[in-house]
Amino acid sequence: MSGGEVAGILVAVFWAILVSFLAVALARLAQTLRATTKLVADVTEQAVPLLADASAAVRSAQTQIDRVDAIATDVQEVTSNASALSTTVASTFGGPLVKVAAFGYGVRRALGGRKDDVPAREPRRTVIVGRTVSRREKRKPRGKRD
**Using one digit for the tens of pLDDT, what is the confidence trace for 58-83?**
999 999 999 999 999 999 999 999 99
Nearest of 119, 118, 101, 98 to residue 109 by alpha carbon: 101
Cα R_g (the chain), whole angstroms: 52
* Mean pLDDT score across all residues of the chain: 84
Q: What does pTM read for this prediction?
A: 0.40
b/e map 5-37, b = 16+ CB within 10 Å: eeeeeeeeeeeeeeeeeeeeeeeeeeeeeeeee
User: Binning pLDDT at 50, 70 and 90, where does residue 23 land?
Assistant: very high
d(CA 53, CA 47): 10
Query: What whole-number distance in Å separates Cα of residue 108 and Cα of residue 113?
Result: 8
Q: Is the pLDDT of residue 131 over 70?
A: no
Helices within 113-143 (DSSP H only): none
- pLDDT bucket at 112, cuts 50 / 70 / 90: confident
Q: Which has the higher per-residue pLDDT, 24 or 131? A: 24
**How many angstroms separate the CA atoms of 86 and 110, rounded?**
34
